[in-house]
């Protein structure tokens, strides 16, 4: 490669505490929801907290991205514009947006990033978004390396960075193309209120009505883990590596961020053409292990092409790693054969006879005998035990688990009336402080020089780090200077460097759209275009779209429509794919939900249609209350 380019580790922030933890554990950027209009309605934050997070992030040249990625009604546009203004004033570096109506508003010059809900799967769509002013775009999770490379070839690395999810929960539908939550509950995923219908148990029948699966989590996927593919993703053109999880807890953010920080650093250190997009190095008080915090198992999804074992059919919850089997159960006491030691406070899980996940905490360990906090419902001899809470690991993460320092070099020199100390950080920013003092010649020059180096390198209470060897003594002689004066000089130089770093921070620029306006790849948009306001219509008309349907949330789609479009295919999962088995036809199948043991259907059955050319599954149904729909039974 011809020149160095920077990689960004982008971590989620549920709140201020989580965002600061992400920065401390090595994130180059964090994304967070504001007071409204983020795609996680339950993860909102005040502008005061966002301003505090931005100030902390900028100390390390890290970025804060504000998720304002819901679709907006006409009456919400002005409020959304005010949120953008407030975010700009709070120091936010960029907005993550889905609704193109925002681009038609009078916004401050803040950088724009295209949300995953923009459904970016093709080079043409990616190039369009770059040309209308987006500086970073989140690619669809379903893409493989060849498709990512094609998008990189169609876009300009200098103008538009490619972002890709590398860890966390996977939506079974293409993001932004899922309307099943709104159809069944009125809660729209595109407006931050997803009801997570995909995580519920469903049953499946083939075209002849023969049961294929009953009460399994057929639309639930394992979690994304691209650890093994990071280098390949870099080579394909990805520059921002995104961790999912604005609803995840603090332990998850710490653990997963630290893991990918180490992995990306390992790759970067072996490849001089790669740089890091922020300053400072994090050290950890624990060994990161992503499997120890919430996950549904792991898959690299479609990055290396379609393969099996991407599903989480048994449970959408955190099952944990298998640690042994049950030898006997007596009340709250369980005798186990475990492959590794268990400890008080560990969380155990198991599946009962009905296939339901259950669990309990360990109260006391006595050899192979465990006392549980609660009665172990459904636990029998021979059952496999899983550990989904490692108490010792959780305890490590509960306290201070990381420290991030910016490396500096120090130079002490003579000044007109005393001494001058210059500190230069790893990015080249420098500041100088002076000390007016009498320069007394030291009786023991070698000892004085060592004292100067040791005293000046003591930066433990700051965000900077230096070893004695990083201190250059460029004075005429190794003067004797009282330690108190040296400490004062060092503190003054540190304060000057902090001020210089703050002054050097520059907000990334807003990209300028091309002129004449770029044309959208299609001349029509159906309900999946998510156009929900007049300004979004203006945007698309300006870019050549002639026919524009209203978003599904407008409740104008009364007939049968695709409520989900997914690369996950149940025919493939059950070895019923025409590409797997000769002679099988991709006939529609039926998906439905039952409640309890009485077998009553809770919701109208859904039809699965299979587009084998595109290798996609469509989940087809109608909006509750739409024409032809059945009344919904109460849950």
**Cα–Cα distance, 62 to 169 (Å, whole number):** 24
Residue 457 near residue 487 (C-beta atoms within 8 A):
no
Tell me, what DSSP letter sits at residue 542?
Answer: H
Span between the terminal Cα atoms of the chain, in Å: 58
Can you give the pLDDT at residue 37?
87
Can you give the pLDDT at residue 635?
32
**Cα–Cα distance, 591 to 212 (Å, whole number):** 10
- Reference 408, options 471, 363, 347; nearest CA is 471
**CA distances in angstroms from 360 to 297, 385, 397, listed in the order given:** 20, 11, 21
Beta strand segments in 277-401, E: 281-284, 298-299, 321-330, 333-338, 347-351, 357-366, 369-372, 384-389
Can you give the pLDDT at residue 2?
41
Average pLDDT by stretches of 10, the chain with 635 residues: 78 97 98 86 86 97 97 97 97 98 98 98 98 98 98 97 98 97 94 93 96 97 98 98 96 98 97 96 98 97 96 96 96 95 97 94 97 94 97 96 98 96 97 92 91 94 94 94 93 97 95 98 98 98 98 96 98 95 95 68 84 97 73 37
Residue 239 near residue 161 (C-beta atoms within 8 A):
yes
The encoded tokens of residue 586 equal: 């991709």
Can you give the pLDDT at residue 634?
32
**Cα–Cα distance, 34 to 90 (Å, whole number):** 11
* Helix, coil or strand: residue 275: strand
Can you give the pLDDT at residue 625?
73
Can you give the pLDDT at residue 633?
35
Indicate the Cα dihedral angle 595, 597, 598, 604, nearest 10°: 30
Residue 63 near residue 57 (C-beta atoms within 8 A):
yes
**Cα–Cα distance, 543 to 531 (Å, whole number):** 14
**Cα–Cα distance, 423 to 425 (Å, whole number):** 7
Can you give the pLDDT at residue 597?
54
Can you give the pLDDT at residue 570?
98
């Amino acid at each position: 490669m011809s020149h160095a380019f920077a990689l960004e580790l982008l971590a989620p922030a549920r709140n201020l505490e989580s965002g600061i933890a992400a920065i401390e554990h090595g994130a180059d950027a964090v994304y967070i929801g504001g007071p409204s209009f983020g795609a996680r309605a339950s993860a909102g934050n005040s502008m005061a907290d966002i301003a505090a997070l931005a100030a902390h992030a900028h100390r390390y040249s890290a970025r804060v991205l504000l998720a304002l990625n819901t679709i907006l009604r006409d009456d919400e546009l002005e409020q959304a514009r005010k949120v953008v203004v407030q975010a700009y004033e709070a120091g936010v570096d960029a907005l993550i947006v889905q609704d193109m109506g925002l681009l038609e508003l009078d916004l401050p010059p803040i950088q724009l990033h295209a949300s995953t809900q923009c459904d970016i799967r093709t080079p043409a769509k990616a190039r369009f978004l770059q040309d209308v002013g987006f500086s970073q775009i989140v690619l669809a999770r379903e893409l493989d390396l060849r498709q990512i490379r094609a998008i990189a070839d169609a876009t300009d690395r200098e103008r538009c960075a490619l972002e890709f999810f590398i860890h966390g929960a996977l939506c079974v539908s293409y993001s932004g193309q899922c309307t099943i939550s709104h159809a069944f509950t009125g809660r729209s995923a595109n407006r931050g209120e997803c009801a997570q219908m995909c995580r519920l148990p469903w049953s499946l029948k083939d075209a002849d009505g023969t049961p294929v699966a009953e009460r399994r989590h057929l639309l639930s996927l394992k979690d994304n883990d691209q650890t093994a593919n990071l280098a390949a993703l870099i080579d394909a053109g990805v520059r921002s590596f995104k961790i999912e999880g604005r609803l995840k807890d603090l332990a998850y953010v710490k653990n997963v961020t630290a893991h990918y920080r180490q992995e990306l650093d390992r790759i970067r250190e072996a490849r001089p053409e790669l740089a890091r997009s922020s300053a400072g190095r994090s050290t950890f008080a624990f060994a990161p292990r992503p499997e120890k915090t919430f996950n549904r198992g792991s898959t690299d999804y479609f990055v290396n092409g379609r393969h099996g074992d991407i599903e989480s059919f048994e449970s959408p919850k955190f099952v944990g790693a298998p640690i042994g089997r049950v030898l006997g159960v007596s009340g709250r006491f369980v005798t186990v054969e475990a492959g590794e030691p268990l400890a008080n406070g560990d969380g155990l899980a198991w599946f009962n006879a009905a296939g339901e996940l259950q669990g309990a905490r360990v109260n006391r360990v006595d050899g192979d005998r465990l006392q549980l906090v609660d009665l172990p419902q459904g636990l029998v001899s021979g059952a496999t035990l899983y550990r989904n809470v490692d108490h010792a690991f959780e305890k490590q993460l509960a306290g201070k688990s990381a420290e991030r320092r910016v490396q500096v070099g120090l130079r002490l020199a003579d000044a007109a009336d005393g001494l001058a100390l210059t500190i230069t950080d790893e990015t080249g920013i420098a500041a100088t402080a002076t000390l007016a003092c009498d320069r007394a010649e030291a009786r023991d020059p070698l000892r004085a020089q060592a004292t100067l180096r040791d005293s000046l390198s003591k930066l433990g209470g700051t965000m900077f780090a230096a070893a004695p060897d990083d201190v250059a003594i460029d004075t005429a002689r190794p003067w004797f200077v009282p330690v108190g004066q040296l400490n004062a000089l060092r503190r003054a130089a540190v304060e000057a460097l902090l001020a210089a770093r703050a002054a050097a921070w520059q907000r990334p620029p807003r990209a300028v759209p091309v002129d004449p306006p770029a044309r959208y790849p299609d001349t029509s948009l159906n309900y999946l275009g998510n156009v929900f306001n007049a300004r979004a219509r203006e945007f698309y008309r300006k870019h050549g779209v002639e026919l524009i349907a209203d978003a599904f949330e407008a409740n104008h789609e009364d007939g049968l429509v695709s409520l989900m479009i997914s690369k996950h295919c149940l025919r493939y999962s059950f070895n019923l794919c025409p590409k797997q088995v000769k002679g099988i036809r991709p006939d529609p199948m039926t998906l439905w939900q039952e409640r309890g043991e009485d077998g009553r259907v809770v919701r109208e059955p859904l039809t699965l249609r299979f587009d084998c050319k595109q290798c996609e599954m469509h989940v087809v149904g109608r909006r509750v209350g739409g024409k032809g729909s059945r009344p919904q039974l109460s849950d």
